[in-house]
Structure 1
Amino acid sequence: MARKKREEESDNHERWLVSYADFITLLFAFFVVMYAISSVNENKYRELTQSIGSAFGVKVVPTVINENPPVSIVPPAITRPLRKKATTNTEIRKEREKMTGIGRDLMKVLSPLINEGKVKVIQSARGVNVEINASVLFAPAEARLSRQSEEVLRAVAQILKDEPNDIQVEGFTDNMPISSAQYPSNWELSSARASSVVRLFVDQGIAGERMVAIGRSANSPIDDNATSDGRSRNRRVALTVLSNIPEAVTEVPVSVSENNTAGH
């Protein structure tokens, strides 16, 4: 019988699957390692890398991962003495007298506005607080100081310029929403108003590192926002000359003299 011809072997078109499977296996191993590293467990990381290295015939030296790396903190430069707590009755008395003197000087330059009920000056444990109605300083929905208000604030700056105390300026609004290209909300408006006062003080020679500008938006209202008069009172700027000894005094009204009670 004639010998049958050996059938020719056909090409195997599926051979690429072998390489593809090897590639997928390597990718899987890679992502397993990445997942293990993300867990930041040093012991498990070392064991896993050694196991994978043994499986692929490669010696792997695991890198030690420090779970709590050192953090470098650079303290800010201190340019002036920090506020301190009172240690003696003499210090308390001197600080009280100094803050009372600042309050009386402010009362004198602000007396016309105090008589109109647009400004209040109060001495408290924090220092001397000057509360100015926003209508005295700004046009509605604006943060640019009016000319009249600039004159008043310049007089205030002359009193505070040579004092060592820190100054905190806070801007407050009512709860009526505002939305403009310049002030998307009351947060921006209140911050801008406080910053306007601080900027004028800097121009008048008060050191910038003594001051901070804070926008409070509609928080901490002093009257009911449900009425027009209440909202008007809530729109204000509060300027606080901070005592170096906050415990020195309790809250009391400031008067120009013992017999003058105007502006209480």
Structure 2
Amino acid sequence: MALRRRKRQDHENHERWLISYADFITLLFAFFVVMYGISSVNEGKFKVFSSSLSEAFNSNQSSASTVIALTQEELFLRSLADRRNAKMAEAQRKRDEFIKKVTGDLNRVMGALIKSGQVAVSQTNRGIELEINASVLFETGQAEIQAAAVGTLSEVAKLLVADDHSIEVNGHTDDIPIHTPLYPSNWELSSARASSVVRLFITQGVASKRLTAVGMADNQPLTLNATPEGRAKNRRIAISILAPQAERTGQVPVQ
């Protein structure tokens, strides 16, 4: 009869927890060592490091603020420059349109006299100038507009009624002195002739506040007064239609 071999029974190990406990103690020890190392950082070096960081950040913020401020200032100045340039361009455009229109109208109305050389239309730095020889408008030594010339000046006035630009009428004489009860000198004669043209414009509907009458006597000759032809050319009425922003040389109130 065969005997049964008894199975060997394994005994349970009740000390296994010691291994886990030892691992935990080792980790805990390592943790405290690290904490101690961190807590014992050199305070001097830490302060230097902290100060350097603060300076760096503050410097960057200051630089950024300066850049932003400069950029805003540049944008503002550029905006002002753009506005100024735009206004100048618009003013120049209006000036060019004004000169082109008025010059064309005057050439059309005064065409016959322009061809005969008695009238000239020109552009100046102040606007447009219409020069009319005095013989077309006045008798010698007189300031009353001839009947034949009233219609011509009335046509000019019609072109100016709907406009709002200032108008300056200058009277010019030659250098031959005049001594009459009405006109003791060329100053009175030239002023009276300019005033006569202004008064006619007013009767044709041109606003009086736009008008100026100026007597220049013989102070701005076109040519030498050495010949009868030269003196005849210097006796004239110059009507200036002033472009926008043009300066007026002076004012003589018309009563």
Q: Where on the TM-score scale, by shorter chain, does this alignment land: which range?
A: 0.5 to 0.7
Whether the aligned pair in 2 keeps the contact of 1:95 and 1:245 (CA below 8 Å) is: no
Structure 1 consecutive aligned stretches of length 4 or more whose deviation exceeds 3 Å: none
Give the number of the structure with larger relative contact order, counting CA–CA contacts within 8 Å between residues 6 or more apart. 1
Alignment-derived partner of residue 196 in structure 2? 196
Alignment-derived partner of residue 233 in structure 2? 233
C-alpha RMSD over aligned residues:
1.6
Whether the aligned pair in 2 keeps the contact of 1:222 and 1:233 (CA below 8 Å) is: yes
SS of residue paired to 1:196: helix
Q: State the 1:204 CA deviation.
A: 0.3
Whether the aligned pair in 2 keeps the contact of 1:92 and 1:245 (CA below 8 Å) is: no
SS of residue paired to 1:214: strand
Alignment-derived partner of residue 172 in structure 2? 172
Letter of the 1:217 partner, please give it: A
Alignment-derived partner of residue 92 in structure 2? 92
Alignment-derived partner of residue 43 in structure 2? none
Alignment-derived partner of residue 146 in structure 2? 146
Question: Which stretch of structure 1 is more off in the superposition, 190-199 or 237-246?
Answer: 237-246
SS of residue paired to 1:141: coil
- The TM-score, its normalising length taken from structure 2, stands at 0.62
Q: State the 1:148 CA deviation.
A: 1.3
- Give the gaps of 5 or more residues in structure 1: 1-84, 248-264
Whole-Å separation in 2 of the counterparts to 1:126 and 1:150: 26
- Give the gaps of 5 or more residues in structure 2: 1-84, 248-255
Whole-Å separation in 1 of the counterparts to 2:163 and 2:86: 19
SS of residue paired to 1:87: helix
Whether the aligned pair in 1 keeps the contact of 2:98 and 2:243 (CA below 8 Å) is: no
| Residues 159-190 of structure 1: CA deviation (Å, up to 9, x unaligned) | 00110100000000000010001111100000
| Residues 130-178 of structure 1: CA deviation (Å, up to 9, x unaligned) | 0000000000000000011110000000000110100000000000010
| Residues 55-112 of structure 1: CA deviation (Å, up to 9, x unaligned) | xxxxxxxxxxxxxxxxxxxxxxxxxxxxxx9932122112211221011101100000
Whole-Å separation in 1 of the counterparts to 2:171 and 2:246: 22
Letter of the 2:214 partner, please give it: I
Alignment-derived partner of residue 122 in structure 2? 122
Q: Percent identity of the aligned residues? A: 45
For these two proteins, the number of residue pairs brought into alignment is 163
Matching of residue 244 in structure 1 with residue 231 in structure 2: no
Matching of residue 208 in structure 1 with residue 208 in structure 2: yes
Q: Which has the higher helix share?
A: 2
Alignment-derived partner of residue 105 in structure 1? 105
